[in-house]
Structure 1
Amino acid sequence: MSTRESAVAAAEEAEPGEAVTAPAPGPRRPFRRPWAVVAARTRRWREEHPTAVQVLSVTVDVLAAALVVVALVLPNTVVGLGPAKFLRIPGEAVIGAAVLLALPRRPRIVLAAVSGVALAAMTVLNLLDMGFNQYLGRSFNVVLDWSLFGDAESYLEDSLGRTETLAAVAGLIVVVLLLFVVLALAVVRLSNLLARHTAVATRGTLIAGVVWITCTSLGLQISGVPIASEHTASALKIEARRVSDTLRDEAAFRKVAKVDRFGNTPGSQLVPDLRGKDMIFTFIESYGRSAVEDPIMAPGVDATLDARTKALAKAGFHAKSGWLTSATYGGSSWLGHSTTMSGLWISNQQRYRTVMASDHMSLTDAFKKTGAFDTVGVMPGVQKGWPEQKWYGLDKVYNAFELGYKGPKFSWSTMPDQYALQQYQERVHSKKPADGKTRMSLLILTSSHQPWAPIPKMVGWDQLGDGSVFKGIQAAGNKPADVIADTTKSRQEYGKSIQYSVTALTQWLERYGSQDTVLVFLGDHQPIARVSGNHASRDVPVSIVAKDPKVLDKVDGWGWTDGLRPAHDAPVWKMSAFRDRFLTAYGSTPHPKKG
């Protein structure tokens, strides 16, 4: 019975007027905090199982040491990744142990924790380098590349779905935070181990130092990998140099962007040999040299290029093709677009922002400055505001939401290329510009964007309607997750996507092109390294197609290959060289603008 219940019973039994005395409360159990209880139980378990405690302690020490060593020697690329990369003696560990042994307890623990956090940061940078090298063919830039994470998240959401993407992002954040905590704790634990066994640790550090110096002096290796490692120190130097170079590059490029060979050319002296032409510039997403020459992708792509060359010839069109070396690789398509149109080497986001904010003339803007062309862009990949329209000199831009598409998305691609081209025909190309002008159009096609699943199929041009016809095709296609996880399948499906895009574009030209139509089409960059290969070039095909023989005669001296498929030994130019060569070939007169 509780104290309260006893008091109530006593009150009910007492005579009227008799005082009631409550019974004295019983003894209370002392309150113990949960963590104190856990600590007591842990101490009790340790006392009862000393052997297990010893084994567990040694295991944790070994795991902590292994984790630190792996973090110190972790390479920044998956190429050549193997056991030999991790069977190395990190010089940073030897120096770190010597410093920690010389410090008193409190500074030692602080330095160990800070070192663990710094090592975790370098590990994250190494992993980012791995991913960027695998997909974009370059290392991560700590100054410029943070903005790309938003694009990566959007790509994953389009490919895998919002729920899966949110789960993946949340999991990644948790893993990164755990990495920082675990590495900090690991270094602190190892520092305590050194302090408990000072004599043994001192001898071991001296021996490790002598071995490291010997291996360095003699160049000893395992499977071609040096045994003595200073990877983390070297990586830190490279990162510092990269930051410094990036900042210097920004200032230098700003001066370069102010210089323009045709910057002061009057409109009357720009592209006079193309007046009256129906000009179309088209970029095909990820259309790279690998599509034409890789043994897995090339057979299908080359057969398509040859077949489409014959079909166009039958319709009266002829082509010349060459190679351009793109300023980007695997992604960041806008860098390829702007490099081609500006005549400047725009290889990073800072250069892109600099050019977009400048008055450096784009190739498309050159047509607008003549006063003889209306300019329009059709960009199904644009799904938000696009201020770059001004720099490109486009009077009107149709984005993903202005083309009336009611069908399904094909992973990242908002609509099939064939549909986008038909909408271009109905909304733009079939309508004559006012005031006797002709038109210059910029089209950016998206169906060959990774992950190349599902891929659209060609349907009758008269059956396209609002795009609903693609629902069954999309539903029956491959799932993105199945293709992303399989390198061979990714390469095969990439090749099919290029075949589709080239077929859609050239069928449109065959169907709707006129005597005055001039089509220039090219790739923006190679596909990701996982598809194109770790040692692939950055070259992309470029073609000029026209009915008027005078158009192709103007570029006869370029040495390009007849047809849509450039020969292996066809000329290769930097993508930034195309603008000035094109302007010069079609009669533009240079009037330089100096910075």
Structure 2
Amino acid sequence: MTSFKGGSPRPARVLFGTLIVSIILFAATRLPDHPDGFAWPAFLRIPVEWPLICLLGLLLPFLLARLLGYLLALFVVLILMLKLADTGAQIALERSFNPYLDIKMVMDGWNIVSGSVGQGVALIAVVVVLLLLAVLVVLLARSWRLMVSASGMLRTGLLVGFGLLAAFGAGLLQMGSSYADLRVAADLTNRIHHVARSVEDMRAFEAVVARGEGPRQGAGLFGRLQGRDVIVIFIESYGRSAIEDPQYANVTGPRLAAMEQEIATAGLQSSSTWVTSPTVGGLSWLAHGTLMSGLWVDNQARYDRLMISAQPSLNRLFSEAGWQTVAVMPAITMDWPEAGYYGYRQILAAKDLGYKGKPFNWVTMPDQYTLSAFERLARVPARAKGEKVMAEIALISSHAPWTPVATMLDWSAVGDGSIFDEQATSGDPPSVVWADPERVRRQYIGTIDYALQAVSSYIANYGSDAVFVILGDHQPARIITGPNASRAVPVHIVSADADLIGSFKEKGLSPGMKPSLDAVEMPMNTVRQILIDTFSGR
């Protein structure tokens, strides 16, 4: 017996409810969890869960069936949210969403999206998604109630229909056909196993952190540097694709050649190679943590653990060896408790750099200003005190949304940055640029070209007494690289000390600013020890 307020609904309403339930269950179970899966063949399969769930609802007593409907509605929303999260994580980070590792990064995702399309558009998108999910819950619950209220011949017909469909799908599965699957339970099981593996991974990382890697104290290190400044520059989204992808090589190739010529004219030499970044598409701090700690930090949980560890950062080792350690972080606009781990003596975050110009959308200030402010606020005062500087600089002009693209000025004209106002308000907004993927790619490589030009000009004008380590933090998102791109980034060593550059070449780096295309990609965490050994004459 069934019970429905006002009596059993008309057969047409029951059939309509059944249709809606079927459509929602089919879509939820068939929706791809990877951007490459959005093609018609993905929907030409029978998800056996769909008829099985409907059969269960029709076989249960009405009250239990209704309770199942409410649980099913929430479950479907959970599945859809996980699949959408997977798709977003694949687009941004080239991996599946992991609740254990990624839940803390929701706000970072909001910052990236809102910076790309604007806060208003991003907020509207979030509200629309939440409203759609709420409508989906209500629609599924009400339609489910209609379906399970079926009585008489109609109920029998639905039971037979779903039973035959389930049997047909099970038969296809038994024969190994690709036209049916039973994925939801397997996917959820795999996700639980994935989270469990992440917990085990953290235990293994705990052991690595406890053991430590490399020297524990900085005293006695870096004697080969002979009192020179050491400047580590991360260039945002500067990956291997920017150099060897044909659609970008005609910009970056000539730029690297021009850089090599410019620094050679200033009396400096260079060597380069590839290193594999622990991240892709974002989460730049994982790359910073990996390079500076010598440990492989490829997720937020590892990073959080590193921040409370006793593993000395490369910055701290330099500080203990007598260098004035400086962080130049134009993207840091809020409290930054993680800075305590690195052991900086001076922190130049966005508010400390004195920029009076307008932001370039998400980008707080152009790279040329960042470098100019670093020279004025860190190197000049240190030089007056007879101190050496070890700096870690994060350049961000090549961060999404890649609009507008900054251009170089004479260094003497930079001032407080207000001269960049015209550039900051030029060009189209992100919502216009991102409507055209080809334009996004053009503007991306334009910002990389600008960042390299700014670094090259800075070295030529102010870098004769410094050693530079220049590298990308990670590859950009797949909209720029395409699928299956390498995770490698270039690293360049620049110095006036020919013997020092020669030592890096002996360790496998190729001469000049363009890494050898057949060079082996080294994990980024190994770079720290190479720098320590080479700078210490080992």
Give the TM interval when normalised to the shorter protein.
over 0.9
Partner secondary structure for residue 238 of structure 2: coil
Which of 85, 88, 94 pairs up with 2:42? Answer: 85
**Counterpart contact for 1:263–1:360, Cα < 8 Å:** no
**Other-structure match for 1:178:** 135
The residue aligned with 1:547 is 496
1:122 corresponds in structure 2 to: 79
CA deviation after TM superposition for structure 1 residue 407, in Å = 0.9
Q: 1:480-533 deviations in whole A, cap 9, x for unaligned?
A: 11222222111111111100001001100101112x310001011100112111
Matched with 1:313 is: 264
Report runs of 4+ in structure 1 exceeding 4 Å deviation: 53-60, 193-196, 433-436
Among 176, 201, 210, the residue aligned to 2:158: 201
Give a deviation string over 1:418-467, Cα, whole Å, max 9, x none. Answer: 01111111111223357744211111100000010111111111111221
Q: Kindly tell me: are residues 195 and 105 of structure 1, through their superposed partners in 2, closer, same or farther at Cα, counting changes over 3 Å?
A: farther
Indicate the residue corresponding to 2:434 in structure 1.
484
CA distance in 2, matches of 1:186, 1:340: 55
The answer to which of 198-207 and 238-247 deviates more is 198-207
Deviations 1:11-55 (A, max 9, x none): xxxxxxxxxxxxxxxxxxxxxxxxxxxx99xx9xx9xxxxxx876
**1:290-310 Cα distance to aligned partner (Å, 9 max, x none):** 111112222111111111111
Q: CA deviation at 1:75?
A: 1.4
SS in 1 for 2:440: helix
Q: Determine whether 1:279 maps to 2:236.
A: no
Match of 2:425 in 1: 475
CA distance in 2, matches of 1:501, 1:311: 15
Q: Which moved more, 1:127-136 or 1:427-436?
A: 427-436
> Which one of 317, 329, 353 corresponds to residue 379 of structure 1?
329
- Give SS of 1:431's match: helix
Q: What residue is the counterpart of 1:572 in the other structure? A: 521
Match for 1:330 among 281, 285, 304? 281
Q: Report the counterpart of residue 71 of structure 1 in structure 2.
A: 28
Q: Which residue pairs with 1:500 in the alignment?
A: 450
Mapping 1:418-457, distance limit 5 Å: 418-433=368-383, 436-457=386-407
CA deviation after TM superposition for structure 1 residue 173, in Å: 2.4
2:415 to 444, 462, 465: 465
| Maintained 8 Å contact 2:402/2:443 | yes
Using the TM superposition, give the Cα deviation of residue 586 of structure 1 relative to its aligned residue in structure 2, in angstroms. Answer: 2.7
CA contact (8 A) 1:298 1:495 kept: no
Instruction: Please give the per-residue CA displacement for 1:540-560, whole angstroms capped at 9, x wherever unaligned.
Output: 111101111121122122222
SS class of match (1:79): helix
One-letter amino acid of the structure 1 residue matched with residue 102 of structure 2: D
- Secondary structure of the residue aligned to 1:149 is helix
What SS does structure 1 have at the residue aligned with 2:400? coil
> What's the counterpart of residue 360 of structure 1?
311
In structure 2, C-alpha distance between the alignment counterparts of 1:401 and 1:273, rounded to whole Å: 35
Deviation at 1:107, TM superposition (A): 0.9
Q: 1:262 is matched by which residue type in structure 2? A: G
In the alignment, is residue 518 of structure 1 matched against residue 467 of structure 2? yes
The DSSP-based 3-state class of the residue aligned with 1:470 is: helix
1:144 alignment partner, SS class: helix
Q: Which residue of 2 aligns with 1:533?
A: 482
DSSP-derived class of the 1:407 partner: coil
- The verdict on how the C-alpha distance between 1:101 and 1:166 changes in structure 2, with shifts beyond 3 A counting, is closer
Match of 1:251 in 2: 203
1:232 paired residue number: 184
Is the CA contact (8 Å cut-off) linking 1:321 and 1:561 kept in structure 2? yes
Whole-angstrom distance in 1 between the partners of 2:139 and 2:504: 62
Which whole-Å CA distance do the structure 1 matches of 2:407 and 2:153 have between them?
A: 69
Conserved in 1, the CA contact under 8 Å of 2:17 and 2:146? no
* Letter aligned with residue 471 of structure 2: L
Amino acid at match of 1:425: E
Q: Which residue of 2 aligns with 1:558?
A: 507
Q: Percent identity?
A: 33
- Residues 1:297 and 2:297 aligned together: no
Q: Deviations over 1:387-414 (max 9, x none)?
A: 2222112100111111111111111110
Structure 1 SS opposite 2:401: coil
1:415 equivalent in alignment to 2:365? yes
Contact kept in structure 2, 1:382 and 1:399, CA below 8 Å: yes
Match of 1:432, SS? helix
Alpha-carbon deviations, 1:177-217, whole Å to 9, x = none? 22333333344443334887332233223322332222223
1:154–1:194 distance in 2 versus 1, CA, 3 Å: farther
Q: Which amino acid in the other structure matches residue 413 of structure 1?
A: V
Residues matched between the structures, number:
533
Q: Which shifted more, 504-513 or 577-586?
A: 577-586
Gaps of 5+ in 1: 1-38, 47-52, 221-225, 590-595
TM-score (norm 2): 0.94
2-structure distance, mates of 1:237, 1:194: 36
Provide the alpha-carbon RMSD of the alignment: 2.3
Larger Rg, first or second structure (1 or 2): 1
Secondary structure at 1:279 match in 2 = strand
- Please give the residue correspondences for 1:20-35 in structure 2 after superposition, counting only pairs within 5 Å: none
2:61 maps to a residue whose letter is P
Residue of structure 2 in register with 1:242 after alignment: 194
Question: Where does residue 167 of structure 1 map in the other structure?
Answer: 124
Equivalent residue for 1:108, pick from 54, 65, 72: 65
Preserved contact between residue 269 and residue 588 of structure 1 (Cα < 8 Å): no
Quote the offset at 1:277 in angstroms. 1.6
CA distance in structure 2 between the partners assigned to 1:575 and 1:179 by the alignment = 45
Distance 1:383 1:166 in 2: 21
Q: Contact 1:68 / 1:187 at 8 angstroms: preserved in 2?
A: no
Equivalents in 2 of 1:425, 1:108: separation in Å? 70
1:346 aligned to 2:297?
A: yes
**Match in the other structure for 1:17:** none
Name stretches of at least 5 consecutive residues in structure 2 with no aligned partner.
none
| C-alpha distance in structure 2 between counterparts of 1:54 and 1:489, whole Å | 53
Report the TM-score when normalising by structure 1: 0.85
How far apart in 1 are the matches of 2:421 and 2:387? Answer: 39
Closer, same or farther in 2 for the Cα pair 1:121/1:559, shift >3 Å?
A: same
C-alpha distance 189-289 of structure 1, shift in aligned 2 (>3 A): farther
The whole-number CA distance in structure 2 between the counterparts of 1:240 and 1:179 is: 25
Counterparts in 2 of 1:198 and 1:61: CA distance versus 1, 3 Å: closer
2:17/2:144 contact within 8 Å kept = no
Please tell me the residue identity of whatever aligns with 2:337.
P
What is the DSSP-based 3-state SS (H/G/I as helix, E as strand, rest coil) of the residue aligned with 2:246?
A: coil
Structure 1 residue 283: deviation in Å?
Answer: 0.3
CA contact (8 A) 1:301 1:496 kept: no
Find the residue that maps to 1:269 and give its secondary structure.
Answer: coil
**Which amino acid letter does the alignment assign opposite residue 192 of structure 2?**
A
